[in-house]
Amino acid sequence: MNIIEAKDYQDLSIKAAQYIIKNVRHNPNLVLGLATGSTPKGTYEQMIKDFQQNNTSYQYVKTINLDEYVGLAKDDLNSYSTFMNEHLFNHIDIPHSQTYIPNGMAKDLHNECAQYDRLIHSLGGVDLQLLGIGHNGHIGFNEPNTSFKTRTHIVKLASSTRNANERFFQDINEVPNYAITMGIQTILESKEILLLVSGKGKAKAVQKLLVEKNRCEQFPASSLYAHPHVTIIADKAALSLTFERKES
Ligand code: GLP
């Protein structure tokens, strides 16, 4: 794992955007795996800024999002589809037809999962997958004790995840109980992974990942140890406990 330390959230966002932009410029047909949550928002802002200033084009890029809530329509205020349109897709030149997010309203959710895997396969796999991490180590929506062999699947969200995401909704009862997420195996099949971690709140998760180095299904992010090409960009706050432990 390659670890890049950022000063703060702003610095992390700039570094992450530069990393992605470099890949897009190198391969204009990039299959780019994207994530939602607060962490990548700044990265997307920087990508938009770069698009406006330097014309980096996404015309031939295809994006594959990690996950979507079950039961929220594409245009629901809280769907990840709306999130991606608002925070990135509406502001760059990517054709919307090349942006893929699981359909949380599909009648047959299991078929939707299988189709999503087929789609990824038909695109030749994900070249670069952007990831965030949950407080409990979840990646995508793969909660603790998810098998590392999973492909795109339906998950019941942990109450800690629902609580953490409550801030985007009116109240906790509106937070969906289920989601569709790329599985851990699907994520690990990406050619390259970029994990972003910011803030003190994530320091324990980072410590668990970087200090314990214990690959176990109770902590989904530890699955990344099996991947040959993972870069983590973390800010000082997120790395605070990791450094404390290393120095003692
Ligand atoms: C959500 C998403 C994840 C994301 C994580 C962390 O539940 N499904 O993909 O990485 O939570 O979110 P945040 O960046 O807001 O802390």
The pLDDT tens digits along the chain (248 residues) read: 999 999 999 999 999 999 999 999 999 999 999 999 999 999 999 999 999 999 999 999 999 999 999 999 999 999 999 999 999 999 999 999 999 999 999 999 999 999 999 999 999 999 999 999 999 999 999 999 999 999 999 999 989 889 988 998 999 999 999 999 999 999 999 999 999 999 999 999 999 999 888 899 999 999 999 999 999 999 999 999 997 544 44
CA dihedral 159, 160, 163, 165 (to 10 degrees): -110
Instruction: Quote the ligand 1 centre to 226 CA distance (angstroms).
Output: 21
Closest CA to ligand 1's atom 5: 134
Residues whose CB is less than 8 angstroms from the CB of residue 37 and which lie 6 or more positions away in sequence, other chains included? 132
44 burial (CB, 10 Å; 0-12 / 13-18 / 19+) is: buried
Q: Does the annotation mark 138 as catalytic?
A: yes
pLDDT tens digit sequence for 3-44: 999 999 999 999 999 999 999 999 999 999 999 999 999 999
Q: What is the CATH number of domain 2-247?
A: 3.40.50.1360
From residue 63, give the alpha-carbon distance in Å to each of 78, 97, 113, 122, 140: 19, 10, 17, 13, 15
Alpha helices in 27-75 (DSSP H): 41-54
* Whole-number pLDDT of residue 212: 87
Residues with CB under 6 A from ligand 1: 35-39, 66-67, 132-134, 140-141, 161, 165
- Identify whether 87 is a catalytic site residue: no
Q: Residue 135 Cα, ligand 1 centroid: separation in angstroms?
A: 9
Max CA pair span of the chain: 54
pLDDT number for residue 48: 98
Instruction: Please enumerate in sequence order all residues whose Cβ is within 8 A of that of 235, keeping only pairs 6 or more positions apart, or say none.
Output: 5, 6, 7, 8, 9, 11, 12, 197, 198, 199
* Catalytic status, residue 136: yes
Cβ pair 239, 245 in contact under 8 A:
no
Q: How far is the CA of 26 from the centre of ligand 1 (A)?
A: 28
pTM for the predicted model, two decimal places: 0.95
Query: Which of 13, 87, 133 has most ligand 1 atoms within 8 Å of its beta carbon, as the pocket-test mutant?
Result: 133
pLDDT of residue 243: 77
Among the listed residues 65, 87, 103, 138, the single catalytic one is 138
Asked whether the beta carbons of 161 and 134 are under 8 A apart, the reply is: yes
- Which pLDDT score is estimated for 247? 47
**Of the residues 50, 67, 112, 235, which is catalytic?**
67
Distance 153 CA to ligand 1 centre (A): 17
Token pair, residue 139, equals 């990646």
